[in-house]
Amino acid sequence: MSSQAQLLMLDRDAVAAVMTTDMIDRAVRDAFALHSARQGRVFPVVREALSTGGIFGIKSGDVAARALLGFKAAGFWPRNRELGGEPHQATIMLFDPATGRPRCIMDGNAITTARTAAAGELGLRILARADSTSVCVFGTGVQARAQLSAALRAFPSLRTVRYVSQDGRPKPDFEACFDGTCRPVLALDVDAAVAASDVVITATPGAGPLFSAAAVRPGTHLNCVGADTRGKRELPGSLLERCRLVVDDSEQARSLGETQWAPSVPHAELGDLLTGKCAFDRQADDVTVFDMTGLALQDLVVGEYLYDAANAARVGCLISWPW
């Protein structure tokens, strides 16, 4: 009955109680497959700078066959660090597409980190050389840590791990995250670090090119996370023109991602490689780039999995939401 309608609230702790790595991996693969089959829609992205110094965005979409509709409101507020908080903030909301009534509101911070890392891991497994043994990660924040962890899962053969910090100083907290797994070494010469790495991960705020194009040697794979807004970039000019480019969504990548700087470069979508819709035969000397802008479908499908798991486990807070 409409007078007995309820809304499920999942805060940070409730999400953590039901979210697993396996769940996120399955949901992200599911989202890419839906996107490839055009069974899920991705609506135009809102991404705007605020007078407060933050960036606010909305990613939304639907999957009609699964009665899935919703959005993620998220952005980046750098001044949060001064308050002892995380600059990335996200909230996901799911709706009943038949009535427009909200079903669930959930904290999206950990979800965003986990689904982006899962997408990065999938990109590595499909695109990077199987004999990769070295990685360089730009950034030491939450997403850089998640991406490096994903890379180590995808390639246990990664023995040499270098990182580049924003201020060029060692980050003991970052290094400590990988105790017992690897020993990240601070790279002071960024071009030399890139030239010596089979895999390069860029997970920074996207304020400009991080290294020179000449540093990228044949056979390198790059996972690029930071360019998610008009004007942002992490890669140097001319690099995309000599690589094999893969994106998560063509339109989004051209407007928000690294691809905005070379929109005419031919590219494929990762979902099409995953489903076999598009063939991909990597050659040993290919330079490959995965331009990750983040799909609304990833957030929604992960949200759907979490919503079902929370209901089954009776996790979260149900509040009356009559209409």
144-181 residue pLDDT tens: 999 999 999 999 999 999 999 999 999 999 999 999 89
CATH number of 248's domain:
3.40.50.720
Between CA 225 and CA 216 the distance in angstroms is: 17
In angstroms, the CA 280 to CA 64 distance is 30
Residue 117 lies in a domain: no
Q: Give yes or no: residues 69 and 147 share one domain.
A: no
Would residue 118 count as lying in a domain?
no
The CA–CA distances, whole Å, from 282 to 36, 243, 244, 287, 303 equal 20, 11, 9, 9, 33
Instruction: Please check whether residues 22 and 171 belong to one and the same domain.
Output: no
Give the chain's domain count. Answer: 2
For 50, other C-beta atoms within 10 Å of its C-beta total 11
Q: Which domain holds residue 34?
A: 2-111+297-320
Q: Which residues contact 243 (CB under 8 A, 6 or more apart)?
A: 222, 286, 287, 288, 289
Place of tokens 């053969």: 157
Locate 64 and state its tokens. Answer: 């009609």
Q: Is residue 231 part of a domain?
A: yes
Give the angle 81-87-93 at the CA atoms, nearest 5°.
Answer: 145
Does some domain include residue 116?
no
233 and 151 inside one domain: yes
Are residues 97 and 139 both part of a single domain? Answer: no
Whether residue 73 sits in one domain with residue 61: yes
- The answer as to whether 59 is a domain residue is yes
Distance CA 196, CA 206 (A): 22
pLDDT band (50, 70, 90) for residue 1: low
Residue type, 124: L
Residue 123 belongs to some domain of the structure: no
Query: In this structure, what CATH number is given to the domain that contains residue 21?
Result: 3.30.1780.10
Answer yes or no: do 186 and 234 share one domain: yes
Q: How far apart are the first and last CA of the chain?
A: 9
Cα dihedral across residues 77, 149, 118, 283: positive or negative: positive
Backbone dihedral region for residue 16 (phi beyond 0: left; psi -120 to 50: alpha; all else: beta): alpha
Same domain membership, residue 159 and residue 86: no
Q: Residue 24 and residue 60: Cα distance in Å, rounded?
A: 18
* Mean pLDDT of the chain, nearest integer: 96
Q: Please state the rounded mean pLDDT for residues 267-288.
A: 96
Whether 121 is in a domain gets the answer: no
Instruction: Give the pLDDT band (50/70/90) at residue 2.
Output: confident
Q: Same domain, yes or no, for 201 and 252?
A: yes
The pLDDT of residue 4 is 85
Q: Are 58 and 154 in a shared domain?
A: no
Query: What is the per-residue pLDDT across 203-244, written as a single tens digit (0 to 9) for each?
Result: 999 999 999 999 999 999 999 999 999 999 999 999 999 999
Q: Does residue 182 lie within any of the structural domains? A: yes
pLDDT tens, 84-135? 988 999 999 999 999 999 999 999 999 999 999 999 999 999 999 999 999 9
272 & 151 share domain: yes
| The pTM of the whole model exceeds 0.85 | yes
Q: Do residues 287 and 138 share a domain?
A: yes
Token reading at 299: 């957030």
Pair (287, 144) in one structural domain: yes
